[in-house]
């Protein structure tokens, strides 16, 4: 399919958008409503200060404990598969709350 749309075969080849159409495209992009996808809630309990923080996404939780997203997901898999919930770095208990 890409071979059928290359160079001269592309209907827009050699053309450019007019200033009017560019203005319409920009206006549509500015007024676009972006539906944000809600992340999964992650609860992290710090064993040193006994403080529990709730993060709105795995990414934010990983950033707060200087970790990686994959690490948190692997720990959740361990919890679900084997029922093991050991403290991460001997300091944090991580619980992911899926809806």
pLDDT at 4 over 80: yes
Residues comprising the chain, all counted? 99
Residue % of the chain over a pLDDT of 90: 51
How do the domains of the chain map onto residue ranges? 41-97
How far apart CA 87 and CA 79 sit, in angstroms, is 11
Q: Which residue has the tokens 């992340």?
A: 39
Give one DSSP letter per residue of 26-62, joined into a string: HHHHHHPPP-PPP--EEEEEETTTTEEEEESSHHHHH
Model confidence band, residue 27 (pLDDT cutoffs 50, 70, 90): very high
pLDDT of residue 24: 96
CA distances from 34 to 28, 29, 30, 40, 55 (A): 12, 10, 10, 19, 21
Q: What is the mean pLDDT of residues 37-65?
A: 90
First CA to last CA across the chain, in angstroms? Answer: 40
Q: What is the mean pLDDT of residues 55-77?
A: 91
């Amino acid at each position: 399919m890409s071979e059928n749309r290359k160079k001269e075969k592309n209907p827009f080849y050699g053309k450019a958008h007019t200033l009017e159409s560019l203005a319409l495209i920009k206006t549509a992009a500015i007024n676009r409503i972006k539906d944000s996808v809600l992340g999964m809630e992650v609860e992290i309990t710090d064993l040193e200060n006994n403080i529990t923080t709730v993060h709105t996404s795995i990414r934010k939780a990983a950033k707060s404990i200087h970790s990686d997203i994959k690490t948190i997901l692997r720990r959740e898999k361990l919890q679900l598969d084997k029922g093991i919930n050991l403290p991460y770095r001997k300091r944090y208990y991580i619980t992911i709350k899926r809806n």
